[in-house]
């Protein structure tokens, strides 16, 4: 691990970092609760397992050099967890070739990745049974010198990020089939195998939720360990009144059966109609015995 605090040393290492085709990155931020958070550390791991911790606190010039040298270069793939957060400090929309493991994790269906949260901590626990201590996450990253424990945390983060990334890529491949060559028969076999069990569970699940809601309403319980019940208000105004106020209205209204009925064919043709078509999958009604006599 290289912990670099000297601006000259950091500047010197940028070309070396830029020579990699993929790096795993993370940042630590000071004053994150205030209106003006400051970038404190940028951690970078290379595919050769070298980790760099760059101290860039109050070094806007250095941060910009890093953005120009690494972030905007499309030839370097940058992997972050919740990239949107780090990009606020590292080039924003100018950053190129950024991969986000949070987004990747969310693309994997629950049955292949059964975790209650897609935070890096949860993913590390799921894949590697390692409790990534997040105690340092909210520590003071604006104070110098940093503690050994802070630096350990900073290094662990990118190390586990690359491991999680690899595990996620495998699962992603497992989850994604090419529909052009996928087998409908295989899908049908699998869905029939679990359908009855799923129906029973789903029925029970919905039923219990309805009961819970009824109980909480009747007994005026607002919150339990697993449920919360709150009011939700929706206010409406007559459309005609809005129109009469001359408020610019620029959205479409679904042409439903009721409105359609009150329009003459002429009126209907005068309107600018846009049609949207969706494809609907449904189960066919289970055939009775005559189906087999085909």
Partner DNA sequence: CGCGGATAGAAGAAGATGAC
Partner DNA sequence: GTCATCTTCTTCTATCCGCG
Applying CB under 7 A, the residues found at the interface with DNA are 26-29, 32-33, 35, 37, 40, 81-82, 84-85, 102-103, 106, 117-122, 134, 137-138, 141, 157, 228, 230, 232, 234, 251, 254-257, 276, 278, 280-285
List, in order, residues 6 or more apart from 215 with CB less than 8 Å away: 221
Contact assessment for residue 212 and residue 226, using Cβ atoms and an 8 Å cutoff: no
Closer by beta carbon to DNA, 26 or else 55: 26
From the CB of 19, what's the least distance to DNA, in Å?
25
Closer by beta carbon to DNA, 11 or else 99: 99
Render 197-254 in DSSP notation, one character per residue. Answer: HHHHHHHHHHHHHHHHHHHHHHTT--B-SS-B----------HHHHHHTT--------
Determine the 3-state secondary structure of 54 from DSSP: strand
Tokens 């972050």 found at? 80
From the CB of 211, what's the least distance to DNA, in Å?
14
From the CB of 204, what's the least distance to DNA, in Å?
15
Determine the 3-state secondary structure of 180 from DSSP: coil
List, in order, residues 6 or more apart from 90 with CB less than 8 Å away: 25, 27, 39, 42, 63, 66, 67, 71
Closer by beta carbon to DNA, 181 or else 277: 277
Closer by beta carbon to DNA, 20 or else 118: 118
From the CB of 287, what's the least distance to DNA, in Å?
10
From the CB of 12, what's the least distance to DNA, in Å?
25
Closer by beta carbon to DNA, 10 or else 141: 141
The neighbouring-strand residues paired with 79 are 24, 99
């Amino acid at each position: 691990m290289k912990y670099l605090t000297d601006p000259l040393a950091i500047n010197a290492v940028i070309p070396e970092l830029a020579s990699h085709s993929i790096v795993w990155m993370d940042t630590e931020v000071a004053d994150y609760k205030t209106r003006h958070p400051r970038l404190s550390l940028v951690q970078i791991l290379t595919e050769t397992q070298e980790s760099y911790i760059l101290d860039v606190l109050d070094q806007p010039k250095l941060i910009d050099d890093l953005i120009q040298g690494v972030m905007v270069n499309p030839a370097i793939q940058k992997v972050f967890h919740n990239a949107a957060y780090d990009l606020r400090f590292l080039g924003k929309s100018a950053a190129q070739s950024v991969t986000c493991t949070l987004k990747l994790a969310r693309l994997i269906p629950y049955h292949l990745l059964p975790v209650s949260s897609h935070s890096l901590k949860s993913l590390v626990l799921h894949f590697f049974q390692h409790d990534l201590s997040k105690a340092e996450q909210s520590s003071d990253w604006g104070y110098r010198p940093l503690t050994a424990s802070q630096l350990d945390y900073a290094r662990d983060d990118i190390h586990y990020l690359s491991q999680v990334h690899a595990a996620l890529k495998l699962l992603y491949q497992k989850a994604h089939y090419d529909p052009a060559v996928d087998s409908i028969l295989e899908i049908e076999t699998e869905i029939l195998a679990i359908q009855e069990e799923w129906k029973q569970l789903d029925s029970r699940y919905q039923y219990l939720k309805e009961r819970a809601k009824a109980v909480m309403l009747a007994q005026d319980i607002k919150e339990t360990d697993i449920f919360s019940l709150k009011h939700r208000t929706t206010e409406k105004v007559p459309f005609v009144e809005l129109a009469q106020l001359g408020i610019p209205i620029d959205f479409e209204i679904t042409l439903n059966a009721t409105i359609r009925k009150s329009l003459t064919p002429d009126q209907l043709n005068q309107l600018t109609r846009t049609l949207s078509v969706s494809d609907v999958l449904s189960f066919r009604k289970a055939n009775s015995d005559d189906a087999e006599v085909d």
